[in-house]
């Protein structure tokens, strides 16, 4: 689905990502985890075409991606950030806008928006102004908006980290159900290994802009492969 070969990203004479090789298979959820500043969001942004790597190659559905990424490819992906970025309109319009831009018929838009608001348990908020939502509600609307696009690849950058513990757990469970039903190809960044074990089938550990280890989350906990990875994962074994 998506592949990166030898990605390096340098900014202001600082190497942020070093020779990253990565592939994402259709239907899998891969989790990125690592300490603050290890390059998780940077790698996500490059894979989501929001930043251009200094060197290396990207392939989307087997095709090499040019540096100036064409709109039809950009429109095949969706991104959700830590802080929900909602438009100052009603909830319905927030979810509908991307579909309107893509030229979808009105009736189909309504059906799609209603369906995804329902999946994330926020259909009762459809007429409410997005500005007036609580953090948890806003993040549910952001996820509904992303899924409504039915993207080929979904990118989630710390989607729960602004939420309190019970809210986070509820949303993580709901997202898990949606993954089970849709098999959406996803990259999930989190600083909480529990999110990764719940939602991802494969984890990638980033340390200092490099992939330090990769494997199934439970396998990595049992066998961290390297001393530095073991030190990082020690924070999560209770």
For the record, the structure tokens of 187 come out as: 């990259």
Asked if 191 interacts with ligand ATP (CB under 6 A), we say yes
Asked if 53 interacts with ligand ATP (CB under 6 A), we say no
Contact 33, 233 (CB under 8 A): no
Give me the count of residues in the chain: 238
Q: Which does 33 bind (CB under 5 to 8 A by kind): Mg ion, ligand ATP, none?
A: none
Asked if 40 interacts with ligand ATP (CB under 6 A), we say yes
Residues in the site for Mg ion, rule: CB under 5 A?
Answer: 40-41
Contact 5, 53 (CB under 8 A): no
Asked if 16 interacts with ligand ATP (CB under 6 A), we say yes
The CA-based diameter of the chain, rounded to the nearest angstrom, is 56
Residue among 3, 7, 31, 42 that touches ligand ATP (CB under 6 A): 42
Residue among 6, 21, 27, 37 that touches ligand ATP (CB under 6 A): 37
Strands across the sheet with 153-157, in order? 77-80, 153-157, 186-189, 29-33, 202-207, 210-215
* Number of residues in contact with ligand ATP under rule CB under 6 A: 12
Asked if 12 interacts with ligand ATP (CB under 6 A), we say yes
Q: Which stretch binds ligand ATP (CB under 6 A): 39-47, 145-153, 193-201, 230-238?
A: 39-47
Contact 190, 161 (CB under 8 A): yes
φ/ψ region of 198 (left if φ > 0, alpha if ψ in -120 to 50, else beta) reads: alpha
Distance (Å, rounded) from C-alpha 27 to C-alpha 127?
33
Q: Which does 39 bind (CB under 5 to 8 A by kind): ligand ATP, Mg ion, none?
A: ligand ATP
DSSP three-state, residue 205: strand
Q: For ligand ATP, give the closer residue by CB, 41 or 94.
A: 41
Distance (Å, rounded) from C-alpha 150 to C-alpha 113?
11
> What mask, x for binding ligand ATP by CB under 6 A, covers residues 78 to 117?
----------------------------------------
Closest-CA residue to 94 (of 84, 105, 106, 103)? 84
Q: For Mg ion, give the closer residue by CB, 116 or 160.
A: 160
Residue among 3, 4, 34, 155 that touches ligand ATP (CB under 6 A): 34
Asked if 39 interacts with ligand ATP (CB under 6 A), we say yes
Distance (Å, rounded) from C-alpha 103 to C-alpha 34?
39
What's the closest the beta carbon of residue 197 comes to ligand ATP, in angstroms?
Answer: 18
Binding site residues, ligand ATP, CB under 6 A: 11-12, 16, 34, 36-42, 191
């Amino acid at each position: 689905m998506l592949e990166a070969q030898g990605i390096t990203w340098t900014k202001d004479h600082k190497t942020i990502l070093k020779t990253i090789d990565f592939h994402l298979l259709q239907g899998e959820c891969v989790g990125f985890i690592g300490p603050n500043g290890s390059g998780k969001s940077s790698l996500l942004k490059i894979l989501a075409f929001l930043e251009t790597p200094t060197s290396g190659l990207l392939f989307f559905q087997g095709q090499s991606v040019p540096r100036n990424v064409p709109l039809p490819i950009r429109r095949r992906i969706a991104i959700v950030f830590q802080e929900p970025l909602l438009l100052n309109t009603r909830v319905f319009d927030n979810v509908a806008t991307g579909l309107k831009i893509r030229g979808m018929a009105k009736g189909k838009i309504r059906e799609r928006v209603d369906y995804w608001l329902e999946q994330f348990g926020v259909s009762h908020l459809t007429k409410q102004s997005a500005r007036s939502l609580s953090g948890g509600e806003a993040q549910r609307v952001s996820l509904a908006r992303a899924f409504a696009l039915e993207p080929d690849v979904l990118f989630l950058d710390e989607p729960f980290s602004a939420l309190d513990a019970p809210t986070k757990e509820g949303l993580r469970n709901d997202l898990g159900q949606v993954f089970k039903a849709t098999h959406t190809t996803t990259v999930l960044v989190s600083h909480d290994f529990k999110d990764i074990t719940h939602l991802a089938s494969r984890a990638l550990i980033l340390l200092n802009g490099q992939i330090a280890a990769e494997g199934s989350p439970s396998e990595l906990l049992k066998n961290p492969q390297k001393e530095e990875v073991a030190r990082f994962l020690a924070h999560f074994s209770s």
